[in-house]
Amino acid sequence: MDKKCMGAESEVIDWGESGAEEGKIRKRTESLSKSVHTGLPYPLKHPVKCSLIKGDYLYFHYGCDGQDDRGWGCGYRTVQTMASWICNNCVPLKDKHTPPPSLPDIQKALVTMGDKPGSFSCSREWIGTFEASLVLDYFYDVPCKLVHVRGGGAELEHVAVEELHQHFEKHVSPVMMGGDRDTSSKGIFGVCTGGEGSYLLVVDPHYYGCQLKKMELQRRGWVAWKRVSSLDQCSFYNLCMPQTANRAT
């Protein structure tokens, strides 16, 4: 990536300076925490149904590769986490050590596909579930199902929860979730339902700082079960669900 890349209002984007070279980014990401949801207890003592992903992945978050993307990069980080799961669990990728795409790679791919104008490269523009589906198909030939969930508790508790249970049981891959009022991208790695309602297992990409062990990430709430009722009831939500049933090992 050219260090002279310019963004909006001619600001130089911090792509991590010398750390943005592919080899150094790869070295940094190889040290990321792995499968950070494991060991987290179920949120309900007597759940009726719990469905989770299967397989290993790396936890990508703000600044994890030296690129300061606070405030706009959460969607990219969720895509990278999902991509790491695909690389580790889908044939033939799992034997090729294919790294998840960098932020510049993702932006370049969206421009190449014609989804974004050339000015999108080196910008601070965020991406959502639709762009995530394009990126995963472009790099890994993995199609995604996009589900739109209208705002309101009933839609979230029934439509979203049932879609997630079916997805995890069949495809066992992570899901990206985002909305309109609730614009924060989040990775969904499980769903648990009981008499008290449903919970989502959220892997939050908004953490910024030194690498933390999974237990500390869980303790601080970056990886946690969240009540569906705690979501913004006035926001619609979209789900990006990788269709990996025939690819996962």
C-alpha 73 chain-centroid distance: 11
Which of 50, 61, 65, 74 does the annotation list as catalytic?
74
Secondary structure of residue 200 in the 3-state scheme: strand
Query: Would you say 129 and 217 are in contact if contact means Cβ atoms under 8 Å apart?
Result: no
Which of 90, 105, 204, 240 does the annotation list as catalytic?
204
Which of 137, 182, 206, 232 does the annotation list as catalytic?
206
74 is annotated as an active-site residue: yes
240 is annotated as an active-site residue: no
Q: CB-side exposure of 55: number of CA atoms within 13 Å?
A: 24
Residues noted as catalytic: 74, 204, 206
